[in-house]
Structure 1
Amino acid sequence: MTMLTTLGPLLITLLFGYWIHLKPFTPERVAKWLEQLVYLILGLIGFSLGSLDNLIEKLLIAGYQAVILILLVSSLSLLGLYVSGKCFNKHTENNPEEIASASLKQALMDALKTISWVIGGVVLGIVGKNWTLHIDEYVTWLLYFLLFLIGCQLRQGNYRLRKLFLNSQGVIIALVTIVTTLFAGWLSSFILDLNWYQGLAVVSGFGWYSLSGILITGLGDPVLGTTAFLLDLSREIVALMFIPFLARINSHLSVGYSGATAMDFTLPMLGKFHGSQIVPVCIASGFIMSVLVPVLIPLFLGMN
């Protein structure tokens, strides 16, 4: 019952944004509001963390968990994607060019800005530890609005499930990435002394750090939410750094390790090293994982 009451409203909100067209919600406004809302929620997550008792101990726990998880997820996912690439990958010519320094600089600046909002929230949380602000309640309501905006963005991008599922390479990459990532999460539950459903939930962001941390925190576990945030942020940064090298082996490695971000943030880099023919594969794979993030996280956490 807990699973249904948690997952139901989140999915309804996402689908409402996808199906209902509201004139004030133009693509430009949705993109702007989405970016601002993400930073606001991340700041509130930081506040919630800063107000916790034994903060340093809990941050050390989250950091340790994130390191173990990124090692497990990376090793198992890359192994599975290497095998699937050898078995199913269609030959495509790579377009090896050096990474544009501006792109790398922008990626690092975005990561720094994101972390700054969280750190700023933590500082305010420490200072205002005794303030009664009902932060968790605010995060939950903002989370609903965030998912509504994500639904709007998916509709405005003309993403159609039927067309995407026809892209066999994208589907194979997504399935291999999902299975190996979840297996890594399950293994981590034994190493990190987590419940099995927590191990599965914490890896179910598939690189979408701005949503995974928010979802898990909004569902009542700020420490695990911080772990998910650190894990997925690390995954995105590592993907940006290693796409040029992975692309030389096969597209399954570069596209799959990019996770949910293959359809947006890492897409320009993937196109740079694989050519335009990789774009439908990236969108298919990234879209499948992106859709599953707001489904799997509340699904697993609702199993307690």
Structure 2
Amino acid sequence: MSGTLLDLILYLALVALGAFLGSRPQIQSLPMPWLGRFQTAALLLLIVTLGAELGANEEIISSLGTIGLNALAVTLTSMVGSMLAVHALRKYLLKLNAQGRSCQEAPEDSDPGSGEAVHVDHSLTLAIVFTVAAGILAGRFLLPDAAVAHCGTVIRWGLYLLLFLVGLDMGRQGSLIRDIRAAGLRVLLVPLAVMAGTFAVTALVGLFLPLGPKDCVAAAAGFGWYSLAPTLLAPYSLTVSATAFLSNIMHELFSIVAVPIVAQKLGYIEAVALPGATAMDTLLPVVVSATADRMAIYSFASGLILSLAVPVLVPAIIALPL
């Protein structure tokens, strides 16, 4: 437990340090076109190493079919749970209509969304999939045991670098905190409802899956962040880590298809909640196109809070004495 807490403190400290440095005027004024590429490189290094560690593990390879089914179950139940919780929040607590407005607010012409097709760049998701596949094959057929033994160290330091870069990028945004405050309290309740719905439904379904409730909740606690959650789970269980990786990849891909449908059939705020952590980046243009421009702050804030919660919740869940 003490080791988990120390790791958690270190993760948060790295993000905070990056955000502090990124918020400095001297840093914000510097053009950093390399930052995104450096983040991607660190991410791919981390993922290929994780894939190699998975590929070298006989137990994981022999149970890939079961892992895939567990991942699909975790993905679908977490998405359904988050939508149900946010729907209840919007309708019964916030008392907002399907477009996310109170009775006193006048509708805008832009509420139905732009109606234009949005191009979503899937290159990073595809790169992640191919990279982890290459890592698994390398770990399975190419890397000697001596090299595989160092994978854990590479994963740990790669994670440290990635967390620092994420904090640096957030700090460079500058107006993030001001924009969240302007949106009001209700924008902060959405990710809390996502967490509650996700954990409640995945824990319930976990009673009927081989993973069990605790491991299902841990796998779902990545909220679509397929790079960080599996890495945090790797020292705990490679099986749960592999399940989390596949589940979070599915979460993003399914959300791309489901967000426009949910926005039309259920509500705008439910559509914001569906992508989880990816609502702040990959799925943001999809959410805005399917809903309205004013939903951008809901989407970004929800994705940000869920992303910040991942390094807190995942270690906390796996540390539970269950």
Under a length normalisation based on structure 1, what TM-score does the superposition of the two structures give? 0.89
1:19-76 C-alpha deviation (Å, 9 max, x unpaired)? 1358598542221111111111111111001111244323223212102212221222
**Post-superposition offset of 1:96:** 5.5
Question: What does 1:188-267 correspond to in 2, within 5 Å?
Answer: 188-194=205-211, 196-217=213-234, 219-248=235-264, 249-267=266-284
Question: What does 1:11-90 correspond to in 2, within 5 Å?
Answer: 11-21=12-22, 27-87=32-92, 88=94, 89=96, 90=100
Seq. identity, %: 24
In the alignment, is the contact (CA less than 8 A) between 2:27 and 2:172 conserved in 1?
no
For 2:169, the equivalent position in structure 1 comes to 153
Give the structure with the larger helix fraction: 1
Say how many residue pairs are matched.
299
AA matched with 2:313: L
For 1:10, the equivalent position in structure 2 comes to 11
Q: Residue 278 of structure 1: which of 289, 292, 295 is its match?
A: 295
**Post-superposition offset of 1:281:** 1.2
With over 3 angstroms needed to count, the CA separation of the structure-2 counterparts of 1:43 and 1:281, relative to structure 1, is same
5+ residue gaps, structure 1, are none
In the alignment, is the contact (CA less than 8 A) between 2:179 and 2:297 conserved in 1?
no
For 1:95, the equivalent position in structure 2 comes to 113
Deviating more after overlay: 14-23 vs 275-284: 14-23
In the alignment, is the contact (CA less than 8 A) between 2:81 and 2:202 conserved in 1?
no
Under a length normalisation based on structure 2, what TM-score does the superposition of the two structures give? 0.85
In the alignment, is the contact (CA less than 8 A) between 1:69 and 1:184 conserved in 2?
no
In the alignment, is the contact (CA less than 8 A) between 2:48 and 2:132 conserved in 1?
yes
With over 3 angstroms needed to count, the CA separation of the structure-2 counterparts of 1:35 and 1:196, relative to structure 1, is same
For 1:187, the equivalent position in structure 2 comes to 204
**Post-superposition offset of 1:202:** 1.2
With over 3 angstroms needed to count, the CA separation of the structure-2 counterparts of 1:27 and 1:185, relative to structure 1, is farther
Aligned partners of 1:213 and 1:18: how far apart in 2? 23
For 1:144, the equivalent position in structure 2 comes to 160
AA matched with 2:15: L
Q: CA RMSD in A?
A: 2.3
AA matched with 1:231: S
Higher Cα radius of gyration: 2
1:106-165 C-alpha deviation (Å, 9 max, x unpaired)? 32x433221110110011001135331210111011111110111101101125446525
Q: Residue 304 of structure 2: which of 284, 287, 292 is its match?
A: 287
AA matched with 2:56: S
AA matched with 2:16: L
Q: What SS does structure 1 have at the residue aligned with 2:115?
A: coil
Deviating more after overlay: 23-32 vs 280-289: 23-32
For 1:268, the equivalent position in structure 2 comes to 285
Aligned partners of 1:132 and 1:188: how far apart in 2? 39
In the alignment, is the contact (CA less than 8 A) between 2:43 and 2:158 conserved in 1?
no
Aligned partners of 1:185 and 1:26: how far apart in 2? 43
* 2:183 equivalent to 1:169: no
In the alignment, is the contact (CA less than 8 A) between 1:18 and 1:151 conserved in 2?
yes
**Post-superposition offset of 1:98:** 5.0
